[in-house]
Structure 1
Amino acid sequence: MIHRPENLTVYGAVGSGSIAVEAALTLLGIDYELVEAPTWEGEAERAKVAPLNPLKQIPTLVFPDGEVMTESSAMLLWLADAYPEAGLAPGLTDPRRRQFLRWMSYIPASIYSMFWVLDEPSRLAAGPEAEAVIQERTIERIADCWRMMDEQVEPGTYIQGEQLTVLDLYVTVVSRWRPRRRRFYEVAPKLAEVVRRVDEHPLLQEFWAKRFPLEGGWEG
């Protein structure tokens, strides 16, 4: 039986990788303490996270007993499995579970991880010219990964049918990042229909407005 603590602390930031986790907590009706830590803004923000996560990254999730969890996909999987009555993931014996786990691993491995390069190409490039090339090629790689996923899924209302899962939340949030939604809509038309539904989900409207507002021109 999974222990289900609800006094959780989330280190995150507006528009960041914590948003999918926060959206799941919102759908589950779980109150949590939020520590705003936009780590890309400088050392002072990274210092908030450093004692908990040596990578100095968000999201970082802290349990009441002090246990720390990192990696957004792990948090989403844990939340979905800890609260099965919410239906945010196929159950262990559900035949959809294999593909659910596949795509929940694919996003951080093939897409999310690319932003380590895209956001700071100087980590790999020797100068501005090389940085521009790396950024361009990384954006193309991200778009191509979305295309490959789109070709291999057959969504219903949501990616795996009629039930919203944390996979839908994950894709919705990450697809808002570069190369932005207009390109995403072009390369992943089936997934595009899904993320638009999640954008408009009635239980998430107040949350989106507060934590990832869809401002003018946000689609790219």
Structure 2
Amino acid sequence: MAAPFVVYGASGSGSVPIEATLSLLDLPYRVEDHAPWEGQAQADRLARINPLRQVPALTLPTGEVMTESAAILIWLADTYPDARLAPPLGDAARPAFLKWMTFVSSAIYALYWIADNPARVVKEGADHVAVKARIYDRIACCWGEMGAQLRPGTHLLGDELSVLDLYVATASRWSPGRRRFYEVAPGLADAVRRIDTDTRLAAIWQERFPFEPGWER
């Protein structure tokens, strides 16, 4: 029997779309919870997996470790093409898929490294609230740009679910929150809500990113 995948992450974090993908692919995996934002000890536990002390990371059955959420999701989708979780090479939707996967990673997700701890770049604690507000404005702006350019079908890239849907459904729940996401990118709302209510993902959402009362903020 092949070794299972090992996901390093935490509830509500960027590991959730990876866990959801593995679940949809019906691949064996286990999760090791690490929340580096909870303190240096937690962060240091990750050093042997990812020297940047960040999640998510994924150990493959070969023992190789992958980091970077977008790269992991693209790799999983391309490695198991029969599941059709990404447009294949040569498909007309492939350029848009790669564009938006990297856009979410670089233009949106990367900003949380500062938002989670503004002291990493701003010394004065009195300025941290303003810094976070500006970052959340920038994130909303980026979601708005994505909404202005994409014309979803049933899902974000047409009528088939892709790992992009899982990525956006997770990241759009982080601050500034889903309500603002709906305001700036209303054209994406139905496709993302469809992922929220996909029965195949119900157990993952309940366990790893539950929809608590008032979650849309």
TM-score with structure 1 length normalisation?
A: 0.95
Task: Tell me whether 1:174 sits opposite 2:171 in the alignment.
Answer: yes
Q: What does residue 121 of structure 1 align with?
A: 118
8 Å CA contact 1:39, 1:57 repeated in 2: yes
Task: Tell me whether 1:7 sits opposite 2:4 in the alignment.
Answer: yes
1:162-182 CA distances to partner (integer Å, 9 max, x unpaired)? 100000000000000000011
Q: What does residue 59 of structure 1 align with?
A: 56
Task: Tell me whether 1:100 sits opposite 2:64 in the alignment.
Answer: no
Q: 2:79 aligns with which of 65, 68, 82?
A: 82
8 Å CA contact 2:87, 2:97 repeated in 1: yes
Which ranges in structure 2 are unaligned for 5 or more consecutive residues?
Answer: none
The AA in structure 1 aligned to 2:84 is G
Give the deviation of 1:64 after TM superposition: 2.9
8 Å CA contact 1:172, 1:199 repeated in 2: yes
Task: Quote the Cα distance in structure 1 between the aligned partners of 2:125 and 2:107.
Answer: 25
The AA in structure 2 aligned to 1:127 is E
TM-score with structure 2 length normalisation?
A: 0.97
Give the deviation of 1:218 after TM superposition: 1.2
Counting aligned pairs with the same residue, the percent is 49
Q: SS of the counterpart of 2:85?
A: coil
Task: Tell me whether 1:137 sits opposite 2:118 in the alignment.
Answer: no
Give the deviation of 1:120 after TM superposition: 0.6
Give the deviation of 1:127 after TM superposition: 1.2
Give the deviation of 1:126 after TM superposition: 2.1
Task: Quote the Cα distance in structure 2 between the aligned partners of 1:43 and 1:124.
Answer: 17
Task: Tell me whether 1:69 sits opposite 2:74 in the alignment.
Answer: no
The AA in structure 1 aligned to 2:156 is I
1:61-82 CA distances to partner (integer Å, 9 max, x unpaired)? 1123321100000000000001
Q: What does residue 43 of structure 2 align with?
A: 46
Give the deviation of 1:6 after TM superposition: 6.1
1:29-80 CA distances to partner (integer Å, 9 max, x unpaired)? 1120210111111223223211121100111111233211000000000000
The AA in structure 2 aligned to 1:156 is G
Deviates more, 1:142-151 or 1:48-57: 48-57
Q: SS of the counterpart of 1:69?
A: strand
Q: Aligned pair count?
A: 216
8 Å CA contact 1:6, 1:30 repeated in 2: no
Q: What does residue 210 of structure 2 align with?
A: 213
